[in-house]
Chains A and B, each alone.
Chain A
Amino acid sequence: MSSRIPLPYAPRVLELFQNPQNLGRMEDATVYAAAGSPACGDMIAFYLKLDEPNALIIKSSFESYGCASNIAAASQLTIMIENKSLEEAWKITWADVSEALGGLPSVKTHCGSLAVGALRRAIRTYYKEKELKLPTWLPEELSKDEKHALEEEALAEKLAKKYKLLEKRD
């Protein structure tokens, strides 16, 4: 076992874990993005269906390869962005997600961050794929949560390299 730490989840985390809202792949999604990596045991995929002329999120859904708080954070975020404009959705932070979940244990705040990172990546992807001009609220520079996702993916790459080395050793 790796070193352990108590994880006093809030009831809302368990509730969403038991009965996740907006779970599953969306076939008619306008845009899709994922963040995190299987190597880190922590990955979220986000699907958005947009009312494009009004830049509104009609519905969203997620898939999660991760712990209970990862699943709950992704599900909570899909609830929070329902019928919100892309601008409003962009402005949701991991702290907002954590608060809506009744607080995440400190080692799990990155689950909130990863969910937000995946959503922001989806929003950025939308503007890029459609070759639209970036709105003023969408910064050119990556936001903190998007960077967090990148950091995790970089760590996964490192892990993957380490395992290739291990295989060579055998």
Chain B
Amino acid sequence: MSNIEGLLKQHGKPDKEVYLDWENGSLVDKEVYAEMRPYYLERTFGNPAITHRMGWETLDFFMKAKTKIAKPLNIDPQALALTHSFSESNNLAIKGIAKMNKKRKKIIVSEAEHLSVIHTAKSMFSDQYKVEIIPVSNDGTMNLDILQERINDDTLLVSLQAVNHEIGTIQPVKEALEIVKDKDDSILFHTDATSAFGRIPIDYGKVEVDLATINSNRILGPKGIAGLYIKDGIKIKSIYEGQLSLEILSPDVENPALLAGFAKAVEIQFNRFDEIKNHTQNLRDKLLYGLQTSIERTEINGPSGERRAPDNVNISYLGCEGEALTVECSMNGIYVSSGSACTSRVLMPSHILTAIGRKPEVAHGSLLMKINRLNTEEQINYVLERMPKIINRIRSITGGIEL
């Protein structure tokens, strides 16, 4: 028996299970799966770039599916490039733009971006690019005054996420975009809307960003597919090579089943947008404020009220180490993640909690819970009932160690 099998046996399957780790992985909605199935087994498996009936059928399907995804964003379906993940989209947005625009050498990102943006930007150092990281306030909002100071005629690209994935800050994308474009219309603006798509209203017909990353799995579509919106006229080049096909920025054989699932997930999420938003927001408030009032020595990470994403609950429990908390939660059938350093040897907590000025011992005790439309009030009640005991047990292990 391998160690992991033994670990799972030792853990056992809890009687009741509540999944709240939607940030780190989601299942596929049943309706989405039903939509995908025939595309694996019988329909449009031909390559859309080949001249036969099966190929043209796939091409026709691709055009229609992309139209469905583009609609809620209010963009031209032709402007939507498909990729394999939001990380690829973010890489493409930065490196692909840099490849086509050699004159300007400055890339600006916020300090709270996803690592797929921050690491990509930093990787450009070796190509003589300058990278500026703009600090955020203690609720995670990008400092627009500093942004204004730092943009100049050498600036190629500014990247600001729409919603922070970890602490739920809704970023002032519209205001940042205005500042950037007022200064110099040629500076490109990218927004990583991975955690915003399907959560908050987005209209790129009105808020005219140049590039935007969207994702399928966060709205219960399949993993392995995502998108990058590229406004008409923006020059960008693929970041890896292959045989050209329909998706020239992601040269591979297209996967119609994944696209069918992505399109269906978008359709469901936006047909039920208000209902889903109200449902998740109600459960979020119940969980966030319920935990805060029933457990002593807590700190909420991220903004409150309308400036917080409707699905985000992030709380630090002082006197607890986060990795131990995730394991104790797991024993109780509650699946969550932490910004603690304990999953790496570098002993640094989440860069986002650091960016908002959380002391290490506060950051180490953080738990991220996300509410999905599949979560029920009964599940939230269960979490509220269990969490005080979970926190007490971990605090009892910390004992008298002074933090």
Contact of B342 among A3, A15, A24, A42 (CB under 8 A): A42
Determine if A65 and B359 form an interchain contact, defined as CB atoms under 8 angstroms apart: no
Instruction: Chain A residues near B331: list those with CB within 8 A.
Output: 18
Contact B343–A71 (Cβ < 8 Å): no
Shortest beta-carbon distance, B112 to chain A, in Å?
12
Q: Is A63 an interface residue (CB 8 A)?
A: yes
Asked whether, in the complex, the Cβ of B7 is within 8 Å of the Cβ of A3, the reply is no
A1-B9 CB under 8 A given contacts A8-B3, A65-B401 = no
Q: Mark A29-62, 1 if CB is under 8 A from B, else 0.
A: 0000010001111110100000000000000000
- Residue numbers in A under 8 Å from B345 (CB-CB): 107, 110
**Given the contacts A3-B115, A41-B349, A64 and B341 also touching, CB distance less than 8 Å:** no
A25-B400, A63-B400, A65-B401 known; A40 and B323 CB under 8 Å? no
Q: Which residues on the A side are within 8 Å of B400 (C-beta)?
A: 25, 45, 63
The answer to whether A14 and B347 have CB atoms under 8 Å apart is no
Residue of A nearest to B323 (CB): A67
Q: Report the minimum CB–CB distance from A90 to chain B (whole Å).
A: 23
Determine whether A127 belongs to the interface, using a CB cutoff of 8 Å to chain B: no
**Contact between A4 and B343 (Cβ–Cβ < 8 Å)?**
yes
A163/B342 contact (C-beta < 8 A), A3-B115, A64-B398 known: no
Q: How far is the CB of A39 from chain B (nearest CB, A)?
A: 4
Asked whether, in the complex, the Cβ of B3 is within 8 Å of the Cβ of A67, the reply is no
CB pair A67–B321 under 8 Å, yes or no, is yes
At the interface, yes or no: B360 with Cβ under 8 Å from chain A? yes
Residue A28 at the chain B interface, CB threshold 8 Å:
no
Flag A1-23 by CB within 8 Å of B: 1 or 0 each. 11111011111011101101001
> Which residue from A11, A63, A152, A155 sits with its C-beta under 8 Å from B401?
A63
**Cα–Cα, bound, A131→B23 (Å):** 55
Q: A2-B350, A25-B399, A152-B347 are in contact. Are A14 and B10 (CB under 8 A)?
A: yes
CB pair A38–B399 under 8 Å, yes or no, is no
A167 lies within 8 A of chain B by Cβ: yes
Report the Cα distance A10→B307, complex, angstroms.
Answer: 42
Question: What size tier do the contact residues of chain B reach?
Answer: 35 or more
A129 at the interface (CB under 8 A from B): no
Residue of A11, A43, A64, A71 touching B9 (CB-CB under 8 A): A11
Interface pair A66/B321, CB less than 8 Å apart: yes
A41 touches B401 (CB 8 A): no
- Within 285-338 of B, Cβ neighbours of A (below 8 Å) are at 319, 321-324, 327-328, 331, 337
Instruction: Please measure, in the bound complex, the distance between the C-alpha atom of A17 and the C-alpha atom of B359, giving whole angstroms.
Output: 26
Q: Is B340 interfacial (CB 8 A cutoff)? A: yes
Question: Any chain B CB within 8 A of the CB of A132?
Answer: no
Which residue of B24, B324, B399 contacts A63 across the interface (Cβ within 8 Å)? B399
Q: Which of A67-102 contact B (CB under 8 A)?
A: 67-68, 70-71, 102
- Let me know if B401 and A43 touch, CB within 8 A: yes
Is B4 in contact with chain A by the CB < 8 A criterion?
yes
Given A2-B341, A65-B398, A71-B397, A41:B115 Cβ within 8 A: no
A68 with B360, Cβ < 8 A, contacts A10-B6, A38-B403, A45-B399 known: no
A103 to B347, CA, bound (A): 21
Which of chain B's residues have a CB closer than 8 A to the CB of A38? 360-361, 364, 401-403
Q: List 13 A-B contacts (CB under 8 A).
A: A1-B115, A1-B368, A2-B349, A14-B7, A14-B11, A24-B396, A24-B399, A25-B400, A41-B347, A42-B342, A66-B324, A68-B324, A71-B324
Interface residues of A (CB under 8 A from B): 1-5, 7-11, 13-15, 17-18, 20, 23-25, 34, 38-43, 45, 63-68, 70-71, 102-103, 107, 110, 152, 155-156, 159-160, 163, 166-167, 169-170
Give 4 closest A-B pairs by Cβ, nearest first. Answer: A63-B399, A41-B364, A67-B323, A67-B342
Given A2-B349, A10-B6, A156-B360, 7 more contacts at CB 8 Å?
Answer: A2-B344, A2-B346, A65-B401, A66-B321, A107-B344, A160-B360, A163-B357
